[in-house]
Amino acid sequence: MKILANDGISQNGMDALEAAGFEVLNIKVAQNQLESYINTNGIDAVLVRSATEIRQELLEACPSIKLIGRGGVGMDNIDVQFAEDQGIHVINTPEASSIAVAELVFAHLFGLARFLHQANREMPLEGDTRFNDLKKMYAEGIELRGKTLGIIGFGRIGQETAKIALGMGMKVIATDIFIQNATISLNFFDGQKVNFNIDTVSKEAVFKEADFISIHTPSTENYLIDQNEIQQMKPGVGIINTARGGILNEIALVNAIEEGKVLFAGLDVFEKEPTPEMQLLMNPELSLTPHIGAATKEAQDRIGSELANQIIALLA
């Protein structure tokens, strides 16, 4: 059987699949050439991340496809229901990238709280001539310990984010439409373990109480956080979105920053990828990354192994 890893797969995942007798084609085929490539090469399974879309039209035109694998959590780039109705396996890796995304949340938070995103721009340009001026500009950072982190979406990634927050002494409140409570276990290097029981609350309660808000929900048809929701938040709130573009109204966010309602924001995802709006790219109160939430070596190894194990179980 032939597997097209169109958005890539880790070496350990490829090795496991090849050892099980699969032929893995780890190449990138342009979206508009996928149909031709799949049919010409008799592809049985297609592995994607967020870049490649697998829609009904493609599946109807490519009857050889038996499995679609998504390296990651969200599957909004796949017509899942149609695929499953045709008897096609649709799999993903919901646990593999949780740690990587959660750590990126705090990379943004730490950087924003201490102006690192700005200082790293200015120091190379003016550090030798305006050192004391820059020191004064960035001397009013804030500490995260003791602050309240509000988590919107308390699934695997949200709970992993909560672990980091609890471990550094933050209060955690969370909201989720499906999860009423969760036990967060902190496992330490010496074998000690501490459990925290967290009951979820309403979105309104999170908006009202949180000093910082981190978003971890699937894609939504309409904005989950728009002008009205931002106005319910505490003055000086910080917002981090590592979930999906289109969940957070970027225009409302920029306006709220300019008005002083929002202190800062960290964005890993954008409404218009791969061409984010220039007003986002140039805003000094934004910390920006190019959709790299799951992009660590460790996470990609876990994703590759998890995909390979599922494919072998289903198709070998």
What is the set of active-site residues?
244, 273, 291
Amino acid at 61: A
The separation between the first and the last C-alpha atoms of the chain, rounded to the nearest angstrom, is 9
Long-range contacts of 117-124 (CB under 8 A, 24+ apart): 117/286, 117/287, 117/288, 118/284
Structure tokens at 17: 């699949």
Q: How far apart are CA 295 and CA 202, in angstroms?
A: 31
Task: Tell me how far the alpha carbon of residue 207 is from its chain's centroid.
Answer: 21
Number of neighbours of residue 132 by Cβ within 10 angstroms: 7
The 3-state secondary structure of 151-190 reads: EECCCHHHHHHHHHHHHCCCEEEEECCCCCEEEEEEECCC
